[in-house]
Amino acid sequence: MTKLIRSEVQELLLSAVDSFPHGACSTCECFLGYVAQLRIDSESPDKDLLTPYKVDRASMHRCLECSPCPPGDLYAEYMVKKQKQRIIL
């Protein structure tokens, strides 16, 4: 899979943040796992987009088990898409 470009990272982050059902989602392991994956998959200069979402470990919390969990669902969809691209290549 090719690295994500800045506009893709911005779009994925905005979709996730806009989907939050609770204020606590920004420190939830579901969202932060997605942010970590986007950091791995993004171009080095674009990683600055992810810095505002970095939190210290003490502020992180387990999944609140929201049903549905929009950030978790977006993360899962992203990983499925990434896996499909890897298989095709």
Q: Is the pLDDT of residue 89 over 60?
A: no
Query: In 3-state terms, what secondary structure has residue 43?
Result: coil
pLDDT at position 64: 87
14 lies in some domain: yes
Q: Is 32 left (phi over 0), alpha (psi -120 to 50) or beta?
A: alpha
What is the C-alpha end-to-end distance of the chain, expressed in Å? 8
What average pLDDT does the chain have?
A: 90
1 lies in some domain: no
When divided into structural domains, the chain yields a total of 1
Q: Residue 88: pLDDT band by 50, 70, 90 thresholds?
A: low
63 lies in some domain: yes
83 lies in some domain: yes
Domain containing 74 equals 6-88
Say how far apart CA 32 and CA 54 lie, in whole Å.
8
| pTM flag (> 0.85) | yes
Question: For 20-59, how does the pLDDT look when each residue is reduced to its tens digit (9 = 90+)?
Answer: 998 899 999 999 999 999 999 998 888 899 999 999 999 9
